[in-house]
A and B are shown apart, each in its own frame.
Chain A
């Protein structure tokens, strides 16, 4: 009887053997266990390992992040718990788990509780499609990139749920800002990804990595720049962390949370940079490919390097204002994204399957365009900066009255 669905079609894939292993299992007298159970067990085993490795790497990541930011600020960082503070993540986890999970009154019940769960789903889902090494990935979807783009929009809803449910004005401010920012940064992100797709020709991440004879960062500098800004805006990382801007909105949408609910938010916020770094390595830095060392080490090394750059930016740069962030998205990244798209499309049209020589020409053109755009737009920005007319005070009829929106 033909099994209903053969999940791992590739013959030699790692999961196929695992699935076969489970297929011959028999317990409680039921000789070969039903097909769907074997599939479920194999899948569960894989997903369980991947999710746990991601969470553990993130907890170690929190320790590394706090030590590194400490070093950036000429201080030492946590070093009390365990040797060099290595037990700090465990201590944090225990504290968060044992901390009282307060629920302020006037809070919209189950929306308040559901928000953290929805928030943590998306950074974890991203790892479903990412190829960690030569053949090791959970699923090689042929629409991998589309899946990632779809998944990275989930935090928008979670943010708004949290902001709205906690009934605190600062959270509502944070949630409104978060929704506006995430929605308006989807567009430049997708545009920069499309630039990469044009060159690689297929949506599946494995094919994108294989198509990169030259890492796409060299071929697509403008795309990489836009994608870096957009992805750090998606995760509310440093220059764009207006959602939980601690100097303005106390803690944004997760002000009213405490205990493990707050812990889930923080965990999601610390997983997101690893997810972003993984996407950047697969899309722009040729994923697992590299001479000598095994592919997993290359992948992990590149992810850590990109993660360090994100952290470095977080430790240094101040925050942009809400309207400046939106202006940056729509007036700066969006046109550049379209320009980058046109140029890449033209190049792909001109050279059908480009030889490495032609690839280098394309790289040269793209770099020239990128530098020209950055310098040109910066002149526009800087003289716009100096002539910024101060906002006139806003006339309002009565405090409670209607008000025309300009």
Chain B
């Protein structure tokens, strides 16, 4: 009937007037993140990393740059290389997490940050020492052992390299 549909539509919007708005005031209130969130503060454990560069090979965009030279801890068994350069170019990273999936030694983890913005493009490249000093809040993406521990990267304590292994 003419007008009845419009009246019902108007009643819906009027009812909505009294509902709590669903906006989240971003800088003041943060959106709750899931523990598996694939963010940009990569957690990289040098003790676990052997420099095999399978993460660099497996990244679709090839943005992880690793330079190593033999002379790691136990060179005889050829266990691990000394890593000179390990930087991730966040400017071109799409946070797909395939590098974390490819790492056989659980040395590389996604982080849960998303607010890194810089004025210059090459500030977006995370150098090796920044990775070393960063507080390690590894996201539980593709790491069932962290999930088994109910680890919350956004609120939990930073984890040392022993606790994150499989």
Stretch in A14-22, A70-78, A169-177 with 4+ CB within 8 Å of B:
A70-78
Q: How far is the CA of A224 from the CA of B3 in the complex (A)?
A: 15
Query: Shortest beta-carbon distance, B26 to chain A, in Å?
Result: 11
By secondary structure, the A interface counts as helix
Query: Shortest beta-carbon distance, A74 to chain B, in Å?
Result: 5
Beta-carbon contact of A375 and B1 below 8 Å: yes
Beta-carbon contact of B13 and A315 below 8 Å: yes
Q: Return the CB mask of B55-90 against A: 1 if under 8 Å, else 0.
A: 000000000000000000000000000000000000
Beta-carbon contact of B19 and A312 below 8 Å: no
Q: Which of B2-27 contact A (CB under 8 A)?
A: 2-3, 6, 9-10, 12-14, 16-17, 19, 21-23, 25
Q: How far is the CA of A73 from the CA of B23 in the complex (A)?
A: 10
User: Considering only CB atoms, which chain B residue lies closest to A309 in the complex?
Assistant: B10
Beta-carbon contact of A382 and B2 below 8 Å: yes
A46 adjacent to chain B (CB < 8 Å): no
Among candidates B1, B2, B10, B25, residue contacting A316 with C-beta atoms closer than 8 Å: B10
User: Considering only CB atoms, which chain B residue lies closest to A72 in the complex?
Assistant: B13
Q: How far is the CA of A292 from the CA of B1 in the complex (A)?
A: 41
Q: How many residues of A contact B (CB 8 A)?
A: 20
A146 adjacent to chain B (CB < 8 Å): no
Instruction: Using A71-B17, A72-B17, A374-B3 as known contacts, say yes or no to A317 and B9 having CB atoms under 8 A apart.
Output: yes
Q: Which of A66-97 contact B (CB under 8 A)?
A: 68, 70-76, 79
Q: Return the CB mask of B19-56 against A: 1 if under 8 Å, else 0.
A: 10111010000000000000000000000000000000
Q: How far is the CA of A158 from the CA of B81 in the complex (A)?
A: 77
Beta-carbon contact of B16 and A72 below 8 Å: yes
Chain B residues near A72 (CB-CB < 8 A)? 13, 16-17
A313 adjacent to chain B (CB < 8 Å): yes
Beta-carbon contact of A75 and B23 below 8 Å: yes
Query: Shortest beta-carbon distance, A237 to chain B, in Å?
Result: 14
A143 adjacent to chain B (CB < 8 Å): no
Q: How far is the CA of A375 from the CA of B23 in the complex (A)?
A: 41
A378 adjacent to chain B (CB < 8 Å): yes
- Give the number of residue pairs across the A-B interface with Cβ within 8 Å: 44
A214 adjacent to chain B (CB < 8 Å): no
Q: How far is the CA of A70 from the CA of B21 in the complex (A)?
A: 8
Beta-carbon contact of B2 and A317 below 8 Å: no
Chain A residues near B1 (CB-CB < 8 A)? 375, 378, 382
A56 adjacent to chain B (CB < 8 Å): no
A368 adjacent to chain B (CB < 8 Å): no
Q: How far is the CA of A317 from the CA of B9 in the complex (A)?
A: 8
Among candidates B2, B3, B10, B23, residue contacting A312 with C-beta atoms closer than 8 Å: B10
Beta-carbon contact of B14 and A312 below 8 Å: yes
User: Considering only CB atoms, which chain B residue lies closest to A317 in the complex?
Assistant: B6
Q: Which of A300-330 contact B (CB under 8 A)?
A: 312-313, 315-317
Chain B residues near A75 (CB-CB < 8 A)? 21-23
Query: Shortest beta-carbon distance, A318 to chain B, in Å?
Result: 9
Beta-carbon contact of B22 and A74 below 8 Å: yes
Q: How far is the CA of A317 from the CA of B7 in the complex (A)?
A: 10
Beta-carbon contact of A312 and B21 below 8 Å: no
Beta-carbon contact of B2 and A378 below 8 Å: yes
Q: Which of B118-144 contact A (CB under 8 A)?
A: none
User: Considering only CB atoms, which chain B residue lies closest to A385 in the complex?
Assistant: B2
Query: Shortest beta-carbon distance, B139 to chain A, in Å?
Result: 30
Chain A residues near B23 (CB-CB < 8 A)? 75-76
Query: Shortest beta-carbon distance, A80 to chain B, in Å?
Result: 9
User: Considering only CB atoms, which chain A residue lies closest to B10 in the complex?
Assistant: A316
Instruction: Using A377-B2, A378-B1, A381-B2 as known contacts, say yes or no to A74 and B21 having CB atoms under 8 A apart.
Output: yes
Query: Shortest beta-carbon distance, A223 to chain B, in Å?
Result: 17
Instruction: Using A377-B2, A378-B3, A382-B2 as known contacts, say yes or no to A316 and B21 having CB atoms under 8 A apart.
Output: no
Chain A residues near B10 (CB-CB < 8 A)? 312-313, 316-317
Beta-carbon contact of B21 and A76 below 8 Å: yes
Q: How far is the CA of A312 from the CA of B23 in the complex (A)?
A: 21
Among candidates A71, A313, A375, A382, residue contacting B21 with C-beta atoms closer than 8 Å: A71
Interface centre among B6, B10, B13, B14 (most CB of A within 10 A): B13
Among candidates A70, A74, A377, A381, residue contacting B19 with C-beta atoms closer than 8 Å: A74
Chain A residues near B16 (CB-CB < 8 A)? 71-74
Known: A74-B21, A377-B2. 6 other contacts (CB 8 A): A71-B17, A71-B21, A73-B16, A75-B22, A316-B9, A378-B1
Residues of chain B at the chain A interface (Cβ within 8 Å): 1-3, 6, 9-10, 12-14, 16-17, 19, 21-23, 25
Which 5 pairs, one residue from A and one from B, show the smallest C-beta to C-beta distance?
A378-B2, A316-B13, A76-B23, A75-B23, A76-B21
19 A-B contact pairs sorted by A residue (CB < 8 Å): A68-B17, A70-B21, A71-B17, A71-B21, A72-B17, A73-B16, A74-B16, A74-B22, A75-B21, A76-B23, A312-B10, A315-B13, A316-B6, A374-B2, A375-B2, A377-B2, A378-B1, A381-B2, A382-B1
